[in-house]
Amino acid sequence: MRFEELRVWQEARVLVRDVHVALKHVRRDAGLGDQMRRAAISVISNIAEGNDRGTQRELRQFLIIARGSCGELRAQLYVASDLGYVDADRFTALLRQTTAVGAMLSAFINGLKKA
């Protein structure tokens, strides 16, 4: 299966877009915004790379890395919210998306353990 067909990759792609849109006007702390963008991109990139490596073992390893990047992004969302860089509604929406992608990754990883 191509990585573009994976639902988790598709959801991670939406997350990348939404993080970029949310941080478009963040100039006060360019470092945090840049790190958040990189964490979101890391999720989608690791899903793709792991899928295209060709072995279940490598796929699992890259999915674990992607899940870690989701956790990193979640933590950074709290910082961005605390500093007033994202409003409460956008914070809640992005947190929900990040949590959902992380849960999808966990389910994917657990499914690979059983295979």
Q: Are 59 and 108 in contact (CB under 8 A)?
A: no
**Count of domains forming the chain:** 1
Q: Are 70 and 107 in contact (CB under 8 A)?
A: no
Whether 73 shows a pLDDT value over 90: the answer reads: yes
Average pLDDT taken over every residue of the chain: 94
What gap in Å lies between CA 111 and CA 113, rounded to an integer?
Answer: 5
Provide the residue range defining the domain that includes 7. Answer: 3-114
Whether 114 shows a pLDDT value over 70: the answer reads: no
Average confidence (pLDDT) over 41-63: 96
Interval 15-39: pLDDT, tens: 999 999 998 877 666 789 899 999 9
Interval 90-111: pLDDT, tens: 999 999 999 999 999 999 999 9
Q: What's 7's domain CATH number?
A: 1.20.1440.60
Alpha helices in the chain (DSSP H): 7-22, 30-53, 56-82, 88-114
Percent of residues, the chain, with pLDDT higher than 70: 96
